[in-house]
Structures are given as C-alpha cells and as structure tokens.
Amino acid sequence: MITKVSLAEKLALFDDHWQPRIVGELNDAHVKLVKVQGEFVWHHHENEDELFLVLRGRLQMKLRDGDLWIEPGEFVIIPKGVEHCPVAPEETHILLLEPKTTLNTGNVSSERTVDAQWI
C-alpha cells in the first residue's frame, strides 16, 4: 500500500535528541528523522554513505579538513570512510537517508549508540 508521510506529524511524536526514528524505506535504505542539539561524536562509516537534509535549524558538520554549515533546505552527503562530527548549536531537525545497515555512531560504540526505531 502506498501512503504519504507528514514530516511535521512525525517530528511532533518525539522530543529527544540524537535518537533517529525510521519513517520510510527506499530500496535498501531507511528514511529517518532525528532532532539534534549539541555535539555528537567523531565517527565514520566503513561501508555506508549518509545524506543529511536540514529541515529546521542549522547543522555544523565538522570534518578533519574543514567544517561545513548546512542550512534549512540544504543537504550534505558524507561518503563512506569520511570521519565527521555533527554539531547543532540549537535544536535542529534532520532527515537522514542511509543504508539500513547504518549504525548512528558508525565505528564508535558509546552511550549515544542506538538502534533506530520505526514511528
């Protein structure tokens, strides 16, 4: 069955930060929503590229060779193997598109490591 998804309705279902929620599937990828604030952890993904689309707020993507600022309506693709650290000075809402195998902290295991859940 084909259904539409309201990003605003899905985002209203949770308030916690750095806890991605799955809202759709596309081939072998998950479409996820996450609210972030503060600094995450430096990490990389051995086998997966990630797309970060900022819906609200702004995201600083720290990279070893310089930082990028991603504003609402912009996205960045972080290629597999590239070490990165997302930072949000204010609450920021992000849509992620990444392979189903992607662990949110990549090669790092910490208290921030979680399995994304469907909402």
Handedness of CA 76, 36, 55, 9 (dihedral sign): positive
Phi-psi region of 116 (alpha: psi -120 to 50; beta: other; left: phi over 0): beta
- Residue 98 domain-assigned? yes
- The phi, psi pair for 66, rounded to 5°, reads 135, 160
Written as six digits, the tokens of 26 are 């596309």
- Residue 103 domain-assigned? yes
Q: Write the CATH number for 24.
A: 2.60.120.10
pLDDT at position 51, please?
Answer: 97
- Residue 1 domain-assigned? no
- Taking residue 57's Cβ as centre, other Cβ atoms within 10 Å add up to 18
pLDDT tens for the chain, residues 1 to 119 = 899 999 999 999 999 999 999 999 999 999 999 999 999 999 999 999 999 999 999 999 999 999 999 999 999 999 999 999 999 999 999 999 998 888 776 677 777 677 788 99
The predicted model scores a pTM of 0.92
pLDDT at position 105, please?
Answer: 67
pLDDT at position 114, please?
Answer: 79
- Residue 94 domain-assigned? yes
Please state the domain count of the chain.
1
| E strand or H helix at 9 | helix 7-11
pLDDT at position 107, please?
Answer: 75
Count CA atoms closer than 13 A to 116's CA, side-chain side: 28
First-to-last C-alpha distance (Å) of the chain: 17
